[in-house]
A and B are shown apart, each in its own frame.
Chain A
Amino acid sequence: MIPFVAVVSLRNQDSRTFRLWIPLFLVWLLLLPVVILLSPFIFIACLMCRVSPFRGVTVVWQIFNALTDSQVEVEHRSAGMSFHIL
């Protein structure tokens, strides 16, 4: 399943944590019409590069699916940041 939410946590020097929930499903919904509009151009570009467009779509879809559970954390005494895709 493609990720629906990303959580960004920011911590400042006073140990105050600011957490931001990013609804990725809205991003996907916004991107969908763009992808549909661009799909003929993507298809032609794939054919020009002799790459199967169906295989390309499959790989990109698998990468989107696999993004779930990715996590990046950076911690320092004065600040911290964490990015988690759910």
Chain B
Amino acid sequence: MNEHRRQILQMLSEGKISADEAERLISAFEEPAAAKSPENGSKGATARPKYLRVQVDSEDDGGHDGPTRVNVRVPMQLLRAGVKLAYLIPAAALQKANLAMHEKGIPVDLTQIKPENLEDLVEQLSDLSVDVDQKDANTKVKVRVFCE
């Protein structure tokens, strides 16, 4: 029996509060504890997403020809496996890529990026959500990238 419940029952036995009030107080103390337990609600928040979805809706020429919809669903497992391809990149190729990027003014050292870092990056994609909404005179494009 926890401390709060003991105090409430003591107040009830001393006649300071009624049985109804005691019941309400006990339930008020129990509700936040129940909300914190993993069986109630927090399970969904920790669930790992299974797919990365890319949706593109576009309308050309004012939509006379109807919208074009593109819907791509990529399993997250495929992304995780894909980043492991970084294991297979030879060191010489990384050096060449570094040189090319430095020539373009991008100071990134690819040899410092480890496959573990890329795997962490994929894990963090679960919080990713990108919405792009572009409207021109003739085109209307809407792009959504999210995990589900």
Chain A interface residues toward B at CB < 8 A: 49-52, 55-56, 59, 62-63, 65-78
Q: Is B82 an interface residue (CB 8 A)?
A: yes
Bound-state Cα–Cα, A72 to B70, Å: 7
List B residues at the A interface (Cβ < 8 Å): 50-51, 65-75, 77-78, 80-82, 84-85, 87-88, 90-92
Q: Indicate whether A59 sits within 8 Å of B70 (C-beta atoms), given known contacts A49-B90, A50-B90, A68-B75.
A: no
Q: In the complex, what residue of chain A is closest to B77 when comparing beta carbons?
A: A66
Chain B interface secondary structure, helix, strand, loop or mixed?
mixed
Question: Can you name the residue of chain A whose Cβ is closest to the Cβ of B51?
Answer: A69
Q: List 13 A-B contacts (CB under 8 A).
A: A50-B90, A55-B88, A56-B88, A59-B84, A59-B87, A63-B81, A65-B81, A66-B75, A66-B78, A67-B78, A71-B71, A76-B66, A77-B65
Quote the shortest CB–CB distance from B116 to chain A (angstroms): 14
Instruction: Find out whether the CB atom of B65 lies under 8 angstroms from the CB atom of A62.
Output: no
A7 to B: closest C-beta gap in Å: 14
With A62-B81, A62-B84 known as contacts, the answer to whether A74 contacts B90 (CB < 8 A) is no
